Amino acid sequence: MHSLFLRIFMLFWVAMAIIVGGSIAATFTITAREYESPELQRRPPVAIQASEILAQGGSGALKSWLDSNRNSIPGRDLYIIGPDGADIAGRRLSEGAARRMKFFNRDEFANHPGNFRGNRAAPQLVAADGTHYSVLLVPRRPSIFGALSLPEISLTILCIALVVSALTSCWLAQHLSSPIRRIQEGARALASENLDVRVSAGLEGRKDELAVLARDFDAMAAQLRANRGAITQLLCDISHELRSPLARMRVALGLARQPPADLSRQLDRLEREIERLDALISQVLKLARLHGTEAPFVRESFELDDVVEEVVRDANFEGAAKNCQVRLEGAANAAINGNRDLVRSAIENVLRNAVRYSPHDAPVDVVLKRVAAGIEILVRDRGPGVPAAELERIFEPFYRVAESRDRDSGGEGIGLAITAQVMKTQGGSAGAANIQGGGLEVRLFFAA
């Protein structure tokens, strides 16, 4: 049972079955004791008293005694039946008394006046004048519930229901509240910045909604921990990226101050570093803007083929220096709704990376095609590829496959991160895979 609904439903019916079964067993047990044994034990003394009264005072005294003792036995009615088959006190016989009288008047009973049941169930009184009277002591049933109306049975059933419902409620409360308390404590720990907290321990065997919630909580905590680590690493990377051009600017400034100095050359160096700083800051701001909760980007409908062709032309211009030809295959022939500039930037980042890492005289292929769920752009280069363990990390900010952070091995490490975030805002995705025989394939997917 993987659902809380099924568990609660089954528990409810199990509890109901126990209560009903216990009630039936208690009713049979108490009824057997109340309707048979006590009755058989108490009737002879009542008959003896009635016989003594009849012998001493006659039928009038017997009637007076009956009027004063009719309710002397709790839960039972006492009748004394005269020769005419009616109660001598003039009361109407109850249904149970009438059934007994009918039973006693059967031929089988009349033919065996001396058997045990006849003597004990309906003692006979004989007056001085020879008149016969029958003593009946029958259970009183004041409600339509019959035996259930007896105080002992009602109280027993109530106790059974209370005990079973209490145990069931206790188990259910513990079953439901245990993971909730864990999640509550975990939430407090997260609020206290303890990102190592986990709450699903001990719930591995459960598959209901609360167990799933606990595992989702753990996944959220792990993601928060990873995000904190990523933010810390991002700050370190940004600091490094900003410090590197500043250090070169400081060196250029120092050289410019030393005579004889090539002032024009050092100023050019300063200008290049300032431009790099400006580009880096623009990229960081762009990435931060894409990660923002609000999306302030203007969306419009545009032809994706036109954007891809435009980016391919620019990439061919850049690749001409190393005789790297960018070849476009296929067409989508479809318009998408999004921000044209961001989509162009995402495709351009991937294509420029492909051209940068492709060897001389090696082509870069761009495949544009429609698939069942949307549109797909594949960019394949002939470069060294990426280690399989790092394929997902190339879309992280400032991540470079090479251990060296020299820009000769690549750019700032933000381009693919921007691409991944742009694809996310467009409702698509970005992924990478190594090509058999060498090279890297980057897949950009736009949902239909």
Residue 123 has phi, psi (to 5 degrees) of -55, 145
Inside any domain, residue 234: yes
Inside any domain, residue 125: yes
Q: Which CATH number belongs to the domain containing residue 435 in this structure? A: 3.30.565.10
Q: Name the DSSP class of 406.
A: -
Tokens 């059967």 found at: 106
> Do residue 288 and residue 349 come from a single domain?
no
Inside any domain, residue 397: yes
- Among 134, 149, 164, the domain boundary falls at 149
Domain that holds residue 209: 201-294
> Do residue 308 and residue 240 come from a single domain?
no
Could you tell me if residue 208 is left (phi over 0), alpha (psi between -120 and 50 degrees) or otherwise beta?
beta
Q: For residues 117 and 137, what is the distance between their CA atoms, to the nearest angstrom?
A: 14
Q: For residues 386 and 404, what is the distance between their CA atoms, to the nearest angstrom?
A: 15
> Do residue 287 and residue 329 come from a single domain?
no
Signed CA dihedral, 49, 50, 55, 61: sign only: positive
> Do residue 421 and residue 305 come from a single domain?
yes
Contacts of 358 (CB under 8 A, 6+ apart): 319, 322, 324, 364, 381, 382, 383
pLDDT in tens, the chain (448 residues): 567 777 788 888 888 888 888 877 877 776 666 545 444 444 457 778 888 888 888 888 888 888 887 766 666 778 888 888 888 888 888 777 787 777 777 644 444 443 333 344 577 888 888 888 888 877 765 554 555 555 666 777 788 888 888 888 888 888 788 888 888 888 898 888 888 888 888 787 787 788 888 889 888 988 888 878 777 776 776 776 677 778 878 888 888 777 776 778 888 888 888 887 887 777 777 777 776 645 557 788 999 999 999 999 989 988 888 889 999 999 888 888 888 888 988 898 899 889 988 888 899 999 999 888 889 999 999 888 888 888 888 887 777 665 433 444 445 667 888 888 888 888 889 999 998 888 899 999 998 7
> Do residue 223 and residue 284 come from a single domain?
yes
Inside any domain, residue 158: no
- Among 116, 149, 182, the domain boundary falls at 149
Listing DSSP states for 188-219 in one string gives: HHHHTT-TT----TT-TT--SHHHHHHHHHHH
Contacts of 354 (CB under 8 A, 6+ apart): 315, 326, 364, 379, 380, 381, 383, 440, 442
Q: For residues 29 and 37, what is the distance between their CA atoms, to the nearest angstrom?
A: 11
Give the pair of three-digit tokens for residue 83. Answer: 């020769």
Inside any domain, residue 1: no
Q: Which CATH number belongs to the domain containing residue 142 in this structure? A: 3.30.450
Q: For residues 321 and 326, what is the distance between their CA atoms, to the nearest angstrom?
A: 12
- Among 294, 309, 338, the domain boundary falls at 294
Q: For residues 299 and 286, what is the distance between their CA atoms, to the nearest angstrom?
A: 17
Q: Name the DSSP class of 94.
A: P
> Do residue 303 and residue 410 come from a single domain?
yes
Inside any domain, residue 181: no
> Do residue 290 and residue 301 come from a single domain?
no
Signed CA dihedral, 29, 31, 35, 39: sign only: positive
Q: For residues 401 and 404, what is the distance between their CA atoms, to the nearest angstrom?
A: 9
Residue type, 327: R
430 three-state secondary structure: strand
Nearest CA to 380 out of 365, 367, 394 is that of 365
> Do residue 384 and residue 420 come from a single domain?
yes
Peptide bond into 142 cis (omega under 30): no
> Do residue 302 and residue 281 come from a single domain?
no
Inside any domain, residue 12: no
pLDDT at 117: 36
109 three-state secondary structure: helix
Q: Residues 102, 105, 143, CA angle at the centre, nearest 5°?
A: 20
> Do residue 245 and residue 306 come from a single domain?
no
Nearest CA to 24 out of 108, 147, 137 is that of 147
Q: Residues 57, 62, 68, CA angle at the centre, nearest 5°?
A: 120
Tokens 């923002």 found at: 292
Inside any domain, residue 320: yes
Q: For residues 396 and 109, what is the distance between their CA atoms, to the nearest angstrom?
A: 100
Helices marked H in 325-407:
340-357
Q: Name the DSSP class of 400.
A: -
> Do residue 437 and residue 415 come from a single domain?
yes
pLDDT at 434: 92
Q: Which CATH number belongs to the domain containing residue 286 in this structure? A: 1.10.287.130
> Do residue 272 and residue 311 come from a single domain?
no
Split into its structural domains, the chain has a count of: 3
Helices marked H in 300-410:
304-319, 340-357
